[in-house]
Amino acid sequence: MPVGLSEPEVLLPIAGVRWGVAVAGIKYADRNDLALMEIAQGAATAAVYTRNAFCAAPVTLARQHGSATATRYLLVNSGNANAGTGAPGMKAALESCAAAADVAGCNIEEVLPFSTGVIGELLPAGKIRNALPRAYADLSADNWLKAARAVMTTDILAKGVSRQIEIAGKTVTITGITKGSGMIRPDMATMLAFVATDAEVEPVLLQRLLQQAVDGSFNSITVDGDTSTNDACVLVASAQAGIAFASETDAGYAELAVAVTEVLQWLAQAVVRDGEGATKFVTIDVQGGGDEAECRQVAYTVAHSPLVKTALFASDPNWGRILAAVGRAGIDSLDVDKIAIYLGQVRIVLDGGVDVLYTEAAGQAVMDEEEITIRIDLGRGSAQAQIWTTDLSYDYVKINAEYRS
């Protein structure tokens, strides 16, 4: 089961945003696998996408449509990634957008497509076309949780969260959902994430807000080190709350930015907590670096070490694996005698070797926990970085060995 995570009981509606879902039968016969988000006119939409060179057809098309005009609809399917499908895949994505535009009565460029599932299989656009009238008829402001369930693949739980803050006497609501469990080391966002607020935010500012929030959330997680072909994160500002922001210096904008970042961080950590086969939620906190980049380099080297990850799964305080990963992270002029490494509050490495006060029992007590922090002080500056990851279990291998079964 996911580590310290449960499915949300309720997700707050966002004025100006509605979701509808339907069974398209893309991979499964009896579950909702198609979701349609309707965005009110006058809203602003920002998005970030995967940097994988083999990006999926829907990613390419969403980029094109998003830069051409205002967005009115997001069309999301699970069960098929429509990646690695060449020109036929692009044709299928276009046909799906055209079908949504026909049902909704909008221009095709106002529809952004998103897909998740198996790579290398052509998207069945006909099934999407047939299901779209049902998804459109289902549109409701209260369907966030239904949408979160519809976009799941290997996820165990639907993942979503809502926040409300008061700005200048106005209540501002933020709600977001995400899906993702494996093939997670985003290079922009996560597998798929959709977040909306009822505040009004100028489009260029909204894009900047999203990128900054993503860097501290979805760009700071890893399950297995694999960046997906389909990663996408969308932020909608529906302009319904009666408060507007055009500049970072506007009163209340800082509070909005913090709240949006908190929502994205919660969603990103939920992806890790629901990581395929995960039994541990691990924070890797690197401090004392020369700059943030080298702190992140060390953190990801530790997080991606199969030996560290399997030791975490075994609850084995094999601190030598952490030390070795730090040493091979490729940091120039690293003085190992200045490095300190901690499991929780227990210092395990000091002065180039094991701390003389360390005991195996103290390390074991930390490793027995479901949530673990590995803290590394490089002793060479004031920079720091934090990422979140999982262990590597038998179930991860089983899930991915049987993924196409």
Measured on CA atoms in the order 255, 260, 261, 267, is the torsion positive or negative? positive
Cβ atoms of residues 115 and 230 within 8 Å: yes
Tokens of 263: 């929502």
pTM (two decimals):
0.94
404, with CB counted inside 10 A (0-12, 13-18, 19+), is exposed
Q: What residue segments make up the domains of the chain, in order of their start? A: 17-273, 281-401
Q: Is 261 a catalytic residue?
A: no
Tokens of 184: 């997670």
Measured on CA atoms in the order 184, 45, 142, 77, is the torsion positive or negative? negative
The mean pLDDT of 109-128, rounded to a whole number, is: 95
Q: Which of 232, 317, 309, 299 shows the shortest CA–CA distance to 277?
A: 309
Percent of the chain surpassing pLDDT 90: 85
Annotated catalytic residue, options 190, 222, 229, 390 = 190
What pLDDT, on the 0 to 100 scale, is given for residue 405? Answer: 60
Beta bridge partners of 341: 349, 376
Angle at which helices 86-104 and 57-68 cross, to 10°? 50
User: DSSP state, 141?
Assistant: T
Cβ atoms of residues 380 and 288 within 8 Å: yes
Tell me which of 321 and 52 has the higher pLDDT. Answer: 321
The mean pLDDT of 32-61, rounded to a whole number, is: 94
The pLDDT tens digits of the residues spanning 145-163 come to 999 999 998 899 999 999 9
The pLDDT tens digits of the residues spanning 159-168 come to 999 999 999 9
What pLDDT, on the 0 to 100 scale, is given for residue 231? Answer: 87
For 179-241, the three-class secondary structure string (H helix, E strand, C coil) is: ECCCCCCCCCCCCEEEEEECCEECHHHHHHHHHHHHHCCHHHECCCCCCCCCCEEEEEECCCC
The pLDDT tens digits of the residues spanning 235-245 come to 999 999 999 99
What pLDDT, on the 0 to 100 scale, is given for residue 188? Answer: 55
Give the position of tokens 């979805």.
Answer: 218
Tokens of 66: 């998003």
17-273, what's its fold? L-amino peptidase D-ALA esterase/amidase (3.60.70)
What pLDDT, on the 0 to 100 scale, is given for residue 205? Answer: 98
What CATH number has the domain spanning 281-401? 3.10.20.340
| 3-class DSSP assignment, residue 112 | strand
> In the predicted model, is pLDDT for residue 190 greater than 70?
no
> In the predicted model, is pLDDT for residue 404 greater than 80?
no
> In the predicted model, is pLDDT for residue 189 greater than 70?
no
Confidence of residue 401 (pLDDT cuts 50, 70, 90): confident
> In the predicted model, is pLDDT for residue 85 greater than 60?
yes
The pLDDT tens digits of the residues spanning 282-340 come to 999 999 999 999 999 999 999 999 999 999 999 999 999 999 999 999 999 999 999 99
